[in-house]
Structure 1
Amino acid sequence: MNSKIKVIIPAFNEAQSIPLVIKAIPSIVDEIIVVSNNSTDDTEINAKNAGATVLAEQQKGYGYACLKGMDYISKLEIKPDIIVFLDGDYSDYPEELTKIVQPILEENMDFVVGARTKELREAGSMTTPQTFGNWLATSLMTLFFRSKFTDLGPFRAIKYHKLLDLKMEDKTYGWTVEMQLKALKQNLNYREIPVNYRNRIGVSKVSGTIKGAIFAGVKILIWIFKYSFK
């Protein structure tokens, strides 16, 4: 029996990139869910025309969009086996989804993170604050939890029932680190898979602004220290 795989793509004003992302997703995926996070451009119509299920989340925030996608899935009669999270800016290589889900399908891993390793990153694709933030967050996770994570990459796959067990709650910038911290606390079997990473289409809503970079960094640290002293 083939595993059912659904993809959740949070998207805010990604009209230009979203059709490219959807087109590049392998056919093993059962459904592509694009959550328009209060977009003001043609993100929604372009995603729908490309064949995705389109949801609208008016409350701005990466976590809000991801939770909207999960809420939609929770109401389906037939639940998926695996959920993949993927950004809508075309910085990830969607065709590498098969690499991301392979350890779950073949080795019974619970959780897989696509690691944006330096040798596979296009020049300029990650800003200095992003690189430093990743290093700091993963170093702290190693220090406090003996983690083997090296990245907070958004391209990730997780067994659906394990995702539900995490009881995700962050609404904004802390979504990725919350998932990894809770996976560590719940002793999930996890792995990182090196993935390619390129310069995104358009301007980043987080790392592309001083405010976004600061808030993301603060949120990451809050989650880490919250779980370190539980």
Structure 2
Amino acid sequence: MDVVLPCLDEAEALPWVLARMPDGFRALVVDNASTDDSARVAADLGARVVPAPVRGFGAACHAGLLAATAEMVCVMDADASLDPADLPRLVAALADLGAAGAPALVLGRRRPVGRGAWPPHARLGNAVLARSLNRRAGTRLRDLGPMRAARRADLLALRLADRRFGYPLEMVLRAARAGWRVAELDVPYRPRTGTSKVTGTVGGTVRAVRDMRRVLAEAAS
């Protein structure tokens, strides 16, 4: 099982994340032009480091997906807000949901644990986007969760085009329109380690919402 970890300046968080990677799960730390020691830390801890020199969340995810070799892959943030120990539950749900080879996607629905885990502005932006997605795709999701599991070949077949923060929404939108089975499982969501680039700042949330709205607009055109 390969775990794609998009990484931008997460040297402080990586030791905790990689130490909690379950047996049988291989970490692919996708270094998205970090300016700290993320790549060195990851390599020293035994993770495979995948370079993604052009910055962008979608660019990092796509690079990790291309580098993966396992049949099933997971994607999750590398900032210690999510616990890799929860990954086996998503993979088990994926195996049940995608029985007989049917394409499927399982998302971790965030349940905040600890003060400041999910700032109000980020939670509001996520809720608005989830409602818009549900109207467009016929899904019934409550979170565009950053922890996910799917079959690698199925994800590549979606031909996801966004290379910025619209990537997670585009994945769900295209999967739903292609008739995939999509489900959510609750996962704990903790305050991240280090400085936030997205949900912890209003500016980061605005950028993410803008990118995702663009994906929705392009899908409707």
The TM-score bracket by the shorter chain reads over 0.9
Q: Which amino acid in structure 2 is aligned with residue 215 of structure 1?
A: R
Partner SS, residue 83 of structure 1: strand
Q: Which amino acid in structure 1 is aligned with residue 186 of structure 2?
A: P
State the 1:83 CA deviation: 0.9
Q: Which residue of 2 aligns with 1:54?
A: 49
Partner SS, residue 150 of structure 1: coil
Q: Which residue of 2 aligns with 1:131?
A: 123
Partner SS, residue 216 of structure 1: helix
TM-score normalised by L of structure 2: 0.92
Q: Which residue of 2 aligns with 1:19?
A: 15
Q: Which residue of 1 aligns with 2:185?
A: 193
State the 1:161 CA deviation: 1.6
Question: In 2, are the aligned partners of 1:137 and 1:224 still within 8 Å (CA)?
Answer: no
Partner SS, residue 63 of structure 1: helix
Query: Which of residues 155, 160, 166 is equivalent to 1:163?
Result: 155
**1:103 maps onto 2:98 in alignment:** no
Question: In 1, are the aligned partners of 2:32 and 2:60 still within 8 Å (CA)?
Answer: yes
Q: Which amino acid in structure 1 is aligned with residue 110 of structure 2?
A: R
**Identity between Structure 1 and Structure 2 (%):** 29
Partner SS, residue 188 of structure 2: coil
State the 1:199 CA deviation: 0.1
State the 1:158 CA deviation: 0.7
State the 1:214 CA deviation: 1.6
- Equivalenced residue count is 217
Superposed CA RMSD in Å reads 1.5
Q: Which residue of 1 aligns with 2:72?
A: 82
Q: Which amino acid in structure 1 is aligned with residue 195 of structure 2?
A: V
TM-score normalised by L of structure 1: 0.89
Query: Which of residues 40, 48, 53 is equivalent to 1:45?
Result: 40
Distance (Å, rounded) in 2 between the aligned partners of 1:214 and 1:190: 26
Question: In 1, are the aligned partners of 2:121 and 2:202 still within 8 Å (CA)?
Answer: no
Question: In 2, are the aligned partners of 1:11 and 1:37 still within 8 Å (CA)?
Answer: yes
Query: Which of residues 113, 120, 131 is equivalent to 2:107?
Result: 113
Partner SS, residue 189 of structure 2: coil
Q: Which residue of 1 aligns with 2:6?
A: 10
Q: Deviations over 1:121-163 (max 9, x none)?
A: 3331112221011110111122232211111111100111210
Query: Which of residues 143, 151, 155 is equivalent to 2:135?
Result: 143
